[in-house]
Amino acid sequence: MKTRLANLRQVPPTALFGIVIVILYIVLAILTPALTPYSQREIVGGAFLPWTSAHPLGTDSLGRDMLTRLLYGGRNTLGIAFVTTILAFAIGMAAGLVAVTVGGWLEPILSRIVDMLMSIPQLIFKLFLLSIFGTSIPTLILVIAVLDSTRVFRLTRAAASSIAVMDYVEAARLRGEGPWWLMTREILPNITAPLIAEFGLRFCFVFLAIAALSFLGLGIQPPLADWGSMVRENATLITFGDITPLIPAAAIAVLTISVNFIVDWMLHKSTGLKE
Amino acid sequence: MSDPTALLKLRDLRLDGQGASGTTHILRGIDLDLAKGEVLGVIGESGAGKSSLGLAAMGFCRNGCRFAGGSANFDGNELIGARPAVLSGLRSTRIAYVAQSAAASFNPAWRLIDQYCEFPVLRGLMDRKAAEKDAIEIYEQLRLPNPKEIGFRYPHQVSGGQLQRAMTAMAMSCRPDLIIFDEPTTALDVTTQIEVLSAIRSAVNELGTAALYITHDLAVVAQMADRIMVMRHGEVVEEAATRTMLDAPREAYTKSLWAVRNIRPPAKPLPPTDTAPLMQISNVTAGYGSNDTALQDIGFDVHAGRTRAVVGESGSGKSTAARVIAGLLPPRSGEVRLDGQLLPPDYRKRSRDQLRKVQLIYQMADTALNPRQRIGDIIARPVSFYAGLRGRALRERVREILSDIELDPDTYMDRSPAELSGGQKQRVGIGRALAAEPQFIICDEVTSALDQIVAENILTLLQRVQRDYGLSYMFITHDLSTVRAIADDVTVMQRGKIVEQGTATHILECPQHEYTRKLLASVPEMDPDWLSKQVSGVDSIV
């Protein structure tokens, strides 16, 4: 325990800032229902009310409490982004590891499919798929997860193929181990560092993608709160010099920067690079 | 000992390294005097600080290291703490450096002669024309073939031995007063090494250059140096003129180094060869890709309880033979039989029992052990995989194996490979092979990455477990002293073919084939006159 504390002191201030912010976001997201007396769908007063003690950030275009929607927006977007990232990793890692371990004709086929998916501009492709399949939350998760898994696939394949040529993997193959053992015991534990860093970055991109899609009206649908759509719905306020619509945008920015700080530090540690 | 006219004077030189685990003392107070034109051999095991000493003699330390005290004086110039401009003026013109791996030290995009001329021209010592002429002279002196043309080739177009000589030539381009050789022949085959050694020695003598010759090979240093310095743990153990040092080493550590050289295995009753062989390789031809033939119609037997050494230089196909036997490279023709039973050419088609009986031990213990698994788990896996042991029985068996490879189970069971030394890792590699309870083990250069004393211990261990479990070994090596120490039978390979094979005594005592004789004659001996004898012998043949 003592060494853990000592290690914490060696964490650079940027990473520490990132960790604190991310923990804060998570705590707020979990505690949201307890923190606010209103619901995210509830109309509590007139539209665009100014900041008061009852409504610290005023109300939105429909007269819903802005702070409540900000909190719920974080909860919704964070939750969906997290599930999506996990799914993207499950698909990408599994495909990448199978391509390297089993190899043969499977590897070029998987790689070409991924190339195909990646050759279409991501945001346009997502918009296209969402307008075909509709904008329910499961579709949203699935579309983003499948398209983002391509990058996870590439990273996994690159990292895994440098491990797969190691003598200890050869020794395991010669022992007669099956692909499951090779993937989970011999290869995966040795590529966790880049994958964890990628997880942080991928989470940011997924989060931004959801916000962007919501801003464009194809992401999380009203009346569910979401930071992207909140910016759009209240954008007119900016013309009146009110900064309220910028708060959800700032929330997105702060989270993205914080995650990047943490990832930077972890990459630093895992590659052993000094300054 | 202190000589006022000394070219290089180190006094109480200290070098510290900063790592994740704190400060380590790499050099702990080195005193050294090197006279003009003198060759000082520096020997020691890996980690003794030899290379750091070599770099420090140029006033250089690697990233993450710093000089912690003492002085290094080169011909009146203090190197420690000198301005970079002063240092770079001295380096290459007055001090030069020859690295172990010439292949990694040349710029692959430039021709050899361009790289030779770079410094003399840059320093204004000669113009390009004169430098080129000079290069050809030096190439000639270093006995490079076609000295007039070889400089106009790119690094990948010449062999390793030639490249090493081209690098030595480059070091001599500005006629430095001191050249630091850091293991220049370690990566070369023995027959190439002898050429490079004699070329370096005569060139150094002719130009009157002083040299620090760093190596771990005693026999090499005996040929090259006027004086020998033995290093250990960043300190000087002993220093004396070459002949004195060889005849009468004073310190216990030096004596132990010398003793290792002369070790011979205890005479054992040889297992008979009149029974059916355990491993039978016949008429195997194999290659990577359709046009390449790395193995041409090779065949040999290995009998139960015996060791067959497969000897040859790099590229002779000895590792390819191992891959064919292991099933990693299905041969184009020919067959591999174990106990009379035909083994499927592809390992994926072999039964679990067939896989179990043939095990491999790798050269690089670093890459042979999964860094994310603990030692106990690495050894436990073959046991549970093949024998199906679980829980307590498994733990007991792993402890048994660890004791067998002379690692204390309580200490090492839960360690990760990174916490072990090179020799200990290699022991774990052996333990993993033993855990499968095999009949036949392929040892692929298992000792060539290890220091001599450690290597001897590994060989002793291999011999003991062979006796205990009646194992057969196929022992791939390029090192003939290893062959002497453990082989019962020897196969000599050259360019994918077997040139000669027979019992070890037969091959080593009365080799029939010319190549075998050359190979045997190229192994350096401790006699300081050995190189001269060999070279004059070669010359007289020519």
Domains by residue range for chain B, with CATH:
279-510 (3.40.50.300)
Q: Is residue A10 part of a domain?
A: no
Question: Residue B448's pLDDT is what?
Answer: 80
Side chain identity at residue A27, one-letter code: V
Q: Is residue A51 part of a domain?
A: no
Q: Is residue A42 part of a domain?
A: no
- State the CATH number of the domain containing residue A200: 1.10.3720.10
For residue B326, list chain A residues with Cβ-Cβ distance below 8 A: 174
DSSP B144-197: -SSHHHHTTS-GGGS-HHHHHHHHHHHHHTT--SEEEEESTTTTS-HHHHHHHH
Question: Residue A274's pLDDT is what?
Answer: 43
Q: Do A174 and B328 touch (CB under 8 A)?
A: yes
ipTM greater than cut 0.90? no
Mean pLDDT of B357-370: 90
For residue B362, list chain A residues with Cβ-Cβ distance below 8 A: 167, 171
Query: pLDDT above 90 covers what percent of chain A?
Result: 43
Question: Could you tell me if A109 lies within 8 Å of chain B, comparing CB atoms?
Answer: no
Regarding predicted confidence, which is higher, A20 or B123?
A: A20
Question: Residue A271's pLDDT is what?
Answer: 62
Q: Is residue A158 part of a domain?
A: yes
Regarding predicted confidence, which is higher, B276 or A181?
A: A181
Q: Do A174 and B355 touch (CB under 8 A)?
A: yes
- Contacts for B411-417 with beta carbons within 8 Å, 24 or more apart? B412/B375, B412/B376, B413/B374, B413/B375, B413/B376, B414/B374, B414/B375, B414/B376, B415/B374, B415/B375, B416/B371, B416/B372, B416/B373, B416/B374, B416/B375, B417/B366, B417/B369, B417/B370, B417/B371, B417/B373, B417/B375, B417/B378
Q: What's the pLDDT band for B510 if we cut at 50, 70, 90?
A: confident
Over the stretch A92-149, which tens digit does the pLDDT of each residue have? 999 999 999 988 899 999 999 999 999 999 889 999 999 999 888 999 999 999 999 9
Domain that holds residue A243: 81-275
Q: Do B432 and A171 touch (CB under 8 A)?
A: yes
Question: Could you tell me if A185 lies within 8 Å of chain B, comparing CB atoms?
Answer: yes
Determine the residue among B372, B378, B384, B385 to mutate to test chain A binding: the one whose Cβ has the most chain A Cβ atoms within 10 Å: B372
- Contacts for A24-33 with beta carbons within 8 Å, 24 or more apart? A25/A74, A25/A78, A25/A255, A25/A258, A26/A78, A28/A71, A28/A74, A28/A75, A29/A71, A29/A74, A29/A75, A29/A78, A29/A79, A30/A75, A32/A71, A32/A72, A32/A74, A32/A75
Over the stretch B65-103, which tens digit does the pLDDT of each residue have? 888 888 888 888 888 888 888 888 888 788 988 888 777
Mean pLDDT of A60-86: 88
**B479 pLDDT exceeds 60?**
yes
**B20 pLDDT exceeds 70?**
no
Question: Could you tell me if A190 lies within 8 Å of chain B, comparing CB atoms?
Answer: yes
Residue in A174, A177, A190 nearest the CB of B360: A174
**B424 pLDDT exceeds 60?**
yes
For residue B382, list chain A residues with Cβ-Cβ distance below 8 A: 175
State how far residue B348 is from chain A, nearest Cα, in angstroms: 7
Q: What is the mean pLDDT of chain B?
A: 86
Contacting residues for B38 by C-beta, under 8 A, at least 6 apart: B7, B210, B211, B226, B227
Q: Is residue A9 part of a domain?
A: no
- Domain count of chain A? 1
Strand, helix or coil at B334? strand
For residue A190, list chain B residues with Cβ-Cβ distance below 8 A: 370-372
Number of Cβ within 10 Å of residue B312's Cβ equals: 25
State how far residue A6 is from chain B, nearest Cα, in angstroms: 14
Q: Is residue A190 part of a domain?
A: yes
State how far residue B440 is from chain A, nearest Cα, in angstroms: 14
Question: Residue A275's pLDDT is what?
Answer: 39
Query: pLDDT above 70 covers what percent of chain A?
Result: 95
Q: Do B347 and A170 touch (CB under 8 A)?
A: no
Q: Is residue A1 part of a domain?
A: no
Over the stretch B116-168, which tens digit does the pLDDT of each residue have? 898 888 888 888 899 999 999 889 888 888 888 888 988 888 888 888 888 88
Q: Which residue of B has its CA nearest to A178?
A: B348
Q: Do A185 and B364 touch (CB under 8 A)?
A: no
Burial class (CB in 10 A: 0-12, 13-18, 19+), B143: middle
Mean pLDDT of B408-416: 89
Q: Do B347 and A173 touch (CB under 8 A)?
A: yes
Question: Residue A9's pLDDT is what?
Answer: 67
For residue B350, list chain A residues with Cβ-Cβ distance below 8 A: 176
Regarding predicted confidence, which is higher, A167 or B245?
A: A167
Which residues make beta-bridge pairs with B477?
A: B311
Kind plus residue range of the DSSP H or E element containing B477: strand B472-477
Q: Is residue A36 part of a domain?
A: no
Q: Do A176 and B385 touch (CB under 8 A)?
A: yes
Mean pLDDT of A157-174: 92
**B289 pLDDT exceeds 80?**
no
Regarding predicted confidence, which is higher, B45 or A100?
A: A100
Number of Cβ within 10 Å of residue B199's Cβ equals: 20
Quote the pTM value: 0.80
Question: Residue B74's pLDDT is what?
Answer: 87
Q: Which of A6-10, A11-15, A194-198 has the lowest mean pLDDT?
A: A6-10
**What CA–CA distance (Å, rounded) separates B532 from B77?**
36
**What CA–CA distance (Å, rounded) separates A202 from B246?**
64
**B542 pLDDT exceeds 60?**
no
Highest mean pLDDT among A21-30, A259-268, B13-22, B312-321: A21-30
Mean pLDDT of A57-76: 85
Side chain identity at residue B318, one-letter code: K
Question: Residue B321's pLDDT is what?
Answer: 92
Determine the residue among B329, B358, B370, B373 to mutate to test chain A binding: the one whose Cβ has the most chain A Cβ atoms within 10 Å: B370
**A273 pLDDT exceeds 60?**
no
